[in-house]
Structure 1
Amino acid sequence: MAELRALVLGGGKGTRMKSSVPKLLHKICGKSMLSWVVDAVSDAGVEKVLIVTSPQIADSDEIQQMSASLISQDIPLGTGHALLQARNELESFDGNWLIVNGDTPAIRPASFSSLIQKHESSGAFITVMTSHHPFNGNMGLISRKHDTDDINAIVEYGDEDYDVNVSSEFNVGAYCIRSELLPAVIGKIPESSTNEFYITRLVEIAYAEGLLVDSYTIEDSSETIGVNTLHDLSRARLVLQNRINTYWLLNGVDIVEPCYIEISAHIDKDSVIYQNTSLQGDTHIGKGSKIGPNSRLLDTSVGADCNIFESVIESSTIGNAVNIGPFSHIRHGSYIESGVKIGNFAEIKNSRIGKEALIGHFSYLGDCFIGNKVNIGAGTITCNFDGKEKHQTIIEEGAFIGSDTKLIAPVKVGSNAITGAGSVVTKDVRSGTTVVGMPARPIDRKTPLSSDSNKEGAHSGY
């Protein structure tokens, strides 16, 4: 088997997208269009990937992180012009080149492998990936000689002789080419009427030179989609989302569509993902958990047997058997330990919530540490920002925080302490103490609250 490299053509302007985002950097299920192509050719066994692209795309962080070499196409003048920018690399390599349009994100690695195998077995100069069932309506047509069935040209959409009644075979936008024969033909690509150069002209040049042109026909029409507009992007997303969902459905995960699940998410078996739920980034769902409906999880790890209902969780860790929602928001940096129950309209930010804590509803807990089996009453707020800095609130194991309590950080509530409803806690509360009032002061739990208990100075020094 000859050595194999790939060249991804990605220098076009993408004006039909009508977007300020470069076409190949548009995301599909959590990964850029270009990344889908680069990953697919790499998985097909390509040893080195080169990308011909514009300077604007080349400077992006995502492209810089790819394991590929970049070739700049300063002025985009078509796929053939992109090929010419890589001429030195193409001609100095002794092997086969897999050349792919960068806007074909749905081609599977197995299809690239089949194209390569067909090319090597036939000994052709160029092997073209074709389809009889195109996903797009503007793909180039394969022209064959009537008497020999040899491929003699690719007719571009918009050319005068473009006629789907003559040919029903279409160019997908992927080619395998023998490098040793490239020098004889690459410089002969003609300039079009629009002052551009097209890689497809290599086919008619090769045919005229007596070089063999072969084809590999792809059967799955969904792989053939080329993205030129945001509508095409939406169709590609449906195709790739269906593949992702199918994978998880075949691996023991129940999915109630529609759902948005990115390629980087991981779901353990026996989990259920309900409708209108998004799993994004580095998100992991543990065995037997139920997520949704109407939930969004981003870069979050969820343990086993959790229930997350109509809530948003970002960059956080959720333990086992946790219940969250509806309408709660767990923000970045939070760690919710096992057995916690968080009801509706709670917001938790950069906090650790201990095992079996109960946060019923209508609460804001920011920059705090909550011990095991703490009860947080409705309307509780940690006042963590003094206008300049954030401060921490600590509530130790077994404490009971009454409804509508305001905790003015930095402050600590000791184990098994109690705050009365409506309390404003401005000082640390000792373990086992009950405090009430505004500002909160300790009372004797064994005697009723007297009219003197809230007087200035009573029980000072707690």
Structure 2
Amino acid sequence: MNDRYALILAAGKGTRMKSKKYKVLHPVCGKPMVQHVVDAAKRMNPQKTILVVGHGAEDVRQQLGPDVTYVLQEQQLGTGHAVKVAKDQLEGKQGHTLILYGDTPLITAEVLEELIQFHEEEQAIVTILTANMDNPTGYGRIVRDRHGNVLKIVEHKDASTQEKEIQEINTGIYCFSNEHLVNTLDKLTNQNAQGEYYITDCIEILKKQNHKVAAFLTEDTDVTHGVNDRIALAEAEKLMRLRINKQHMLQGVTIIDPENTYIGPDVTIGMDTTILPGTILSGHTVIGEDCVIGPYAELRHVHIGDGVAIEYAVLVESEVGDTTTVGPYAYIRPGSSIGKGSKIGDFVEIKNSTIGDGAKIPHLSYVGDADIGAKVNMGCGSLTVNYDGSQKHRTVVEEGSFVGCNVNLVAPVQIGPGAYIAAGSTITDSMPGDSFAIARQRQVTKENYAQKLKEKKKTK
């Protein structure tokens, strides 16, 4: 197999985005659009992935890290100029170079693989990725002869009436013979009205040298979608979201309303799981089989076992064991691990805690910085008091203990296995196993006292 190189052009500021953020860092389905392009390119196993950056270069480096080679284009003088500044990274290398763009997040590795294979089969020097569009206004047209060979690319403004009827457009994505690309770059000029260098001029030069120029027509027109403003960003978000949802459904996931389900590109979902409307799944979230997620659940970087039910809940950077139920209106914060067969009920907040198998925290509770053992029952309104004003402390409730309603566990404190705590108690001391604690003032009942109070009010 020929060596492969990926050259991604991402130096434009993106003024039409009306944003302080560098254009290619705007997210699509939770991931910066340039990251989508880099990820697709890397699936081609390139020898090198080169990113041409300009405005916001440091922010891009922080996002993509050291696996990408960065080239700075200080002045943006056209697509040809962007490739020229990367010439040193490609010089002397044999193989194919893909030219891509950081603002086309819908490009897929599958289409790029098809482009390269077609390029090799045709033994072309350059192959253009093309697509048919119902409304090609503004795009360069691919003009072919009667045998289907590429004659030229004609820009919309330069096209004749007949040429404007052509629906096959130039996407701007190319596969070049790297050696010919490098040799052609020195021949580019900026003798045009805009004073810029265009990569399409390389194709024209190679055509005049009688080198073969081919065009691969993709059936997936979505991959050509570029993002220049917030409207196009929203369109890209919708197209990718529906693509992701379709892939999950083809893998055996039921999505009740794909139009109102938001799943990130790095999410994994098991077979026979059902996703209900309004659900947002992002980051490297993994969901097992036979789960019911939603409605209106948000999961970020969460690992969910099999047979789990989650509704109206937010879970972040945590894990949930098999057959556990979460919600409604629960909040599982980072660093939490919920065991198998557990119940986390309504208006329960868990933070940086371990909840054992079969434990129950049914409602109106806060558990922070705690280790709750298997089969523990935390009564309604029970709280771990984990912060003393300067630092956090840990609470331990061991297996089989029963914590009554409205109990405060003031950390650091340890409750032994099988212990019972009476409702309304504030526990400040650790308890041995199988013990019982009651920490509340004894009730005093004064008969007829209420009547006396009412009579006293009447006299005032």
CA distance in 1 between counterparts of 2:132 and 2:280 reads: 35
Give the whole-Å Cα distance in 1 for the aligned partners of 2:60 and 2:164: 43
Aligned to 1:235, the other structure's residue is in SS state: helix
Question: Which ranges in structure 1 are unaligned for 5 or more consecutive residues?
Answer: 440-448, 452-462
Partner of 1:169: 168
User: Taking structure 1 as reference, are residues 426 and 184 closer, same or farther at Cα in structure 2, changes over 3 Å only?
Assistant: closer
Question: Which one-letter code corresponds to 2:7 in the other structure?
Answer: L
Residue correspondence of structure 1 range 62-461 to structure 2 within 5 A: 62-65=62-65, 67-133=67-133, 138-143=138-143, 150-155=150-155, 159=157, 161=159, 165-182=164-181, 185-191=184-190, 192-257=192-257, 258-438=260-440
RMSD: 2.6
Question: What residue identity is the alignment partner of 2:350?
Answer: I
Q: SS where residue 200 of structure 1 aligns?
A: helix
Deviation, structure 1 residue 135: 8.4
Contact 2:135 2:167 in 1 (8 A): no
Q: 1:416-446, CA deviations, whole angstroms, 9 ceiling, x for partnerless residues?
A: 332222222222233333333447xxxxxxx
User: 2:433 and 2:148 mapped to 1: Cα distance?
Assistant: 93
Q: How many residues align?
A: 441
For residues 124-183 of structure 1, the C-alpha deviation after alignment (integer angstroms, 9 at most, x for no partner) is 33221111126885433334579996432341x6x4548673432211121122233335
- How far, CA to CA, are the matches of 1:147 and 1:429 in structure 2? 88
Q: Answer whether contact 2:141 2:170 (CA < 8 A) is retained.
A: yes
Letter in 2 for 1:76: Q
**Greater mean deviation of Cα atoms: 135-144 or 350-359:** 135-144
The 1:68–1:5 alpha-carbon spacing in structure 2 relative to 1, beyond 3 Å, is same
Q: 2: distance between equivalents of 1:97 and 1:7?
A: 7
Q: Is the 8 A contact 1:134 1:170 kept in 2?
A: no
1:151–1:374 CA distance, 2 compared to 1 (3 A) = same
Distance in 2 (alpha carbons) for counterparts of 1:177 and 1:226: 21
Structure 1 residue 415 displacement after superposition = 2.6
Query: Which deviations, in whole Å up to 9, do the C-alpha atoms of 1:349-375 show, x marking residues without a partner?
Result: 111112222112111111111122221
Question: Does the 8 Å contact 1:128/1:174 carry over to 2?
Answer: yes
The one-letter amino acid paired with 1:26 is H
**Structure 2: distance between partners of 1:120 and 1:134:** 29
Deviations 1:54-96 (A, max 9, x none): 2633554555425332211122222111011012333422332
Structure 1 length-normalised TM: 0.87
Identical columns (%): 36
TM-score under structure 2 length normalisation: 0.88
- Specify the SS of the correspondent of 2:202: helix
Q: Residue 91 and residue 353 in structure 1: after superposition, are their counterparts in 2 closer, same or farther (change >3 A)?
A: closer
> Contact between 1:135 and 1:225, CA under 8 Å: does it hold in 2?
no
Partners in 2 of 1:149 and 1:450 — Cα distance? 95
Alignment-mate amino acid for residue 95 of structure 2: G
